[in-house]
Structure 1
Amino acid sequence: MTEQPPMAAAELAARSLGLAGAVNARDLGGYRTADGRVLRGGVALRSDGLNRLTEADLELLLGLGLRHVVDLRSLDEVREAGPDRVPGLPVADVSAVELSAEPVRLDSPDPDGITLHHLPIFAADFDIYVALRDALADRDPVRQHQLLGDGKAAAIMTGLYRWFVTDPVARERFAAVLRLLAAPDGPPVLFHCTAGKDRTGWTAALLLTALGVDREAVIEDYLLTNIRSAAIIERIVDSFGTRGLMSDPSLLLPLFRADLAYLDAAFAEVEAGWPSFDAFWQAGLGLDDTVLSGLRKNLLVEG
């Protein structure tokens, strides 16, 4: 399932942060919890990569009053696409941080500036960038179909989402984002990966679920990527065809789109390994009631 649940155009536009260089940048504010509270706007933000931000985007970003930016991309992704552009942080410094394969924090020289956290989440066995590189290497349509066809591309993605839950290092890095959002001096926090779809999507799903947002709204938020990124995906896929890189570029779509089956795979892995989401929160993510209380205090208001 990749279809997007019905959503008013005004709500869709309101969630966007309006960044021309990060079209999937949006606000998690407005979602309602089971006890009737609502996520505050402007405190928990999710995005695709910030490496393509324009000068106007940087001004918009400054206006958000961000305290922290969290980059979940791998070292290879940063090398290929470029480091984040973060207001107040020199690009050279940002690059030095983001070219590290280990978690790194870079504080702004301005005490009120934005702190950058590089928390790379990388699965060697389910690397969509390696799969894409291998598929494009020799332009052989038979080889490309062997790599990505007959459900193989989708299998890479479901494997990745299961790995989000089963890998202890991945769990710790997702937990680190949640701890930051719960810290007294945490929000506003913007977290992102490359497309703002998978690692970012699972972080958002964990956050919303922990706060008591129902699964339907969690799914809605996850699938919103398909609307926000539709034009870019179409342009990329078309270019692979027109440049002669692939005879059937539609093979790439399972890698580029959010699909409910992927999110379901992650939640199914949670259910297989722990008796409840609360148990996963504590034993799987290593988070306690203090973190949950911090999230509620920082992010929720009465409806």
Structure 2
Amino acid sequence: MNITNFRDLGGMRTIHGRRVRQHKFIRSGQLVGLDEDTKRELVDRYQVTQVVDFRRPFERQESPDDRIDGVTFTNIDLLEQSGTSGTSLDDFASLGLADQVNGHMLNVYHDLVMNPAAQQGYGKFLRIVVDNIQGATLFHCFAGKDRTGFAAALVLWLLEVDDTQVFADYLKTNQERVAANNQLLDRFRAKGFDQDSLDALEIALCVKKEYLAHAQQTMIEAYGDVFTYARQALGFGPDQVEALRRNLLE
């Protein structure tokens, strides 16, 4: 599989002892430059029938997903109305200081929870997952770490997977992206970016437990729990949560 940060979330256990089905709920980085074997494996082995792309329009324009026969692609721009100024790699590199990057990332995660476009987008995403009874839903952004990371956590929380597993999966991105991140850093180094900028970019290319914890705390402070958040902010009520569990759990 020549896809960065790819993993099937099947196998995780809920607090009630049920298990997430294999080949139903899959996260990754962008689907660019796929070889034919990878495309075939996505369809034949993983049963992917739906792809949700969380990237901004400029990201999709620069690096459009490779099309796969028999797979439906849906674009959802989660940061369309975000107050967070700039989320491109150049924006992160230009911040220059580690503290600024950390602050910026915390703002991004706040927006993923509270921004109206993000709420609308995540609600749409949940409905796609619920309605995809026959196949698997693969979802991604650029690196498959922030927008995708919160999407994965959101669904796992609704399934009642415990925080230990949710955060372990979230942090696995740092292992999965080592080679890809080094390539990006080399590219920016070749562009002439100074060491402070490269250090800032290196931080932005990783996930930290505090980022997802900040999103979780923001959600709890505003709505009380993930189920109220889903119902009030995402338009995804108890009946839909039960349908999600029927589809994704065994």
Give the TM-score, by structure 2 length.
0.92
Unmatched 5+ stretches in structure 2: none
- Counterparts of 2:153 and 2:120 in 1: how far apart (Å)? 16
The aligned residue for residue 147 of structure 2 is 199
The aligned residue for residue 160 of structure 1 is 108
The aligned residue for residue 78 of structure 1 is 60
Q: How far off is 1:162 after superposition?
A: 0.3
The aligned residue for residue 51 of structure 2 is 69
Equivalent of 2:199 in 250, 259, 265: 250
Residue identity opposite 2:90 in structure 1: R
Percent sequence identity is: 31
Q: Which digits, 9 at most, give the CA deviation of each residue in 1:243-297, with x for residues without a partner?
A: 4222331121221001111101111110110122221121122111121111111
Q: How far off is 1:121 after superposition?
A: 1.6
Say whether residues 1:273 and 2:230 are aligned partners.
no
Q: Which digits, 9 at most, give the CA deviation of each residue in 1:19-43, with x for residues without a partner?
A: 21x1211100010000000001000
> In 2 relative to 1, CA 165–230 (structure 1 residues): closer, same or farther, beyond 3 Å?
same
Equivalent of 2:117 in 165, 169, 174: 169
The aligned residue for residue 159 of structure 2 is 211
Quote the RMSD (CA, aligned, Å). Answer: 1.7
Q: How far off is 1:193 after superposition?
A: 0.6
Residue identity opposite 2:71 in structure 1: I
- Counterparts of 1:134 and 1:120 in 2: how far apart (Å)? 18
- Counterparts of 1:115 and 1:243 in 2: how far apart (Å)? 37
> In 2 relative to 1, CA 184–65 (structure 1 residues): closer, same or farther, beyond 3 Å?
closer
> In 2 relative to 1, CA 125–243 (structure 1 residues): closer, same or farther, beyond 3 Å?
closer
Say whether residues 1:118 and 2:67 are aligned partners.
no
> In 2 relative to 1, CA 251–299 (structure 1 residues): closer, same or farther, beyond 3 Å?
same
The aligned residue for residue 55 of structure 1 is 36
Do the aligned residues in 2 keep the contact of 1:43 with 1:187 (CA within 8 Å)? yes
Residue identity opposite 1:183 in structure 2: D
Give the TM-score, by structure 1 length.
0.77
Unmatched 5+ stretches in structure 1: 1-18, 89-112, 137-143
- Counterparts of 2:77 and 2:52 in 1: how far apart (Å)? 9
- Counterparts of 1:211 and 1:55 in 2: how far apart (Å)? 34
Do the aligned residues in 2 keep the contact of 1:281 with 1:288 (CA within 8 Å)? yes
Equivalent of 2:15 in 34, 52, 56: 34
The aligned residue for residue 98 of structure 1 is none
- Counterparts of 1:135 and 1:34 in 2: how far apart (Å)? 38
Do the aligned residues in 1 keep the contact of 2:29 with 2:140 (CA within 8 Å)? yes
- Counterparts of 2:174 and 2:209 in 1: how far apart (Å)? 11
- Counterparts of 1:213 and 1:292 in 2: how far apart (Å)? 13
> In 2 relative to 1, CA 299–57 (structure 1 residues): closer, same or farther, beyond 3 Å?
same
SS in 2 for 1:85: coil
> In 2 relative to 1, CA 133–124 (structure 1 residues): closer, same or farther, beyond 3 Å?
farther
> In 2 relative to 1, CA 241–184 (structure 1 residues): closer, same or farther, beyond 3 Å?
closer
Residue identity opposite 1:173 in structure 2: G
Residue identity opposite 2:4 in structure 1: V
The aligned residue for residue 45 of structure 1 is 26
Do the aligned residues in 2 keep the contact of 1:126 with 1:157 (CA within 8 Å)? no
- How many residues align? The count is 246
- Counterparts of 1:257 and 1:134 in 2: how far apart (Å)? 15
For the pair shown, the structure with the greater C-alpha radius of gyration is: 1
